[in-house]
């Protein structure tokens, strides 16, 4: 009899240990981290000039678009129901003026679209020298 009692106690102990391990594992994996800082949707886009130059280097096809480009500093403005940083960009290629706006979320470009006068009408433009330096070969 003593051998059988030891076997039952051993099995019960192993089962209890497995249940405790499983319950401990559920609390530590896959859930949100409590100490992680939330993402700030309005983080200042500190490297906005480089980000936009890199983006445009990949998307512009006309060399004329790279000449005479202007850029504004980031401005916190209403975008839909929220406030977001925007950066206005103006191109003077092929005798046309093209006005674009980069809309930022958490310090990164979320959209690059045609701008409206409300967004960029009063922008303080400066020469976009980083874009001229990114002029594609040809």
Instruction: Report the length, in residues, of the chain.
Output: 138
- Residue 127 belongs to a domain: yes
pLDDT under 50: residue ranges of the chain: 1, 5-8, 10-12, 14-23, 27
- Residue 33 belongs to a domain: no
- Residue 34 belongs to a domain: no
Task: Specify the pTM.
Answer: 0.70
Q: Mapped to the 3 state alphabet, what secondary structure does 15-34 carry? A: HHHHHHHHHHHHHHCCCCCC
DSSP state letters, 62-107: -GGGGTT-EE---EEEEETTEEEEEEEEEE--TT--EEEEEEEETT
- Residue 5 belongs to a domain: no
Residue 119 structural domain:
48-133
- Residue 85 belongs to a domain: yes
pLDDT tens digit string along 19-58?
Answer: 444 445 554 555 555 667 788 999 999 999 999 999 988 8
pLDDT of res. 11 = 45
**Domain total for the chain?**
1
Please state, in angstroms and as integers, the Cα–Cα distance from residue 88 to each residue in 26, 37, 53, following that order.
Answer: 48, 30, 13
Query: In 3-state terms, what secondary structure has residue 55?
Result: helix
Half-sphere exposure of 50 (CA within 13 A, CB side): 4
- Residue 1 belongs to a domain: no
CB atoms within 10 A of CB 54: 15
- Residue 101 belongs to a domain: yes
- Residue 21 belongs to a domain: no
């Amino acid at each position: 009899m003593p051998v059988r009692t030891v076997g039952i106690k051993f099995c019960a102990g192993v089962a209890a240990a497995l249940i405790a391990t499983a319950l401990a594992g559920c609390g530590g994996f896959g859930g949100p981290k409590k100490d992680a800082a939330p993402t700030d949707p309005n983080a200042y886009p500190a490297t906005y000039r480089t980000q936009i130059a890199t983006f445009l280097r990949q998307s512009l096809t006309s060399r004329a678009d790279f000449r005479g480009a202007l850029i504004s500093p980031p401005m916190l403005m209403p975008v839909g129901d929220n406030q977001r940083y925007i950066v206005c960009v103006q191109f003077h290629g092929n005798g046309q003026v093209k006005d674009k706006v980069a809309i930022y979320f958490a310090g990164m470009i979320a959209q690059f679209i045609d701008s409206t006068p409300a967004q960029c009408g009063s922008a303080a433009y400066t020469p976009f020298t980083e874009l001229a330096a990114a002029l594609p070969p040809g």
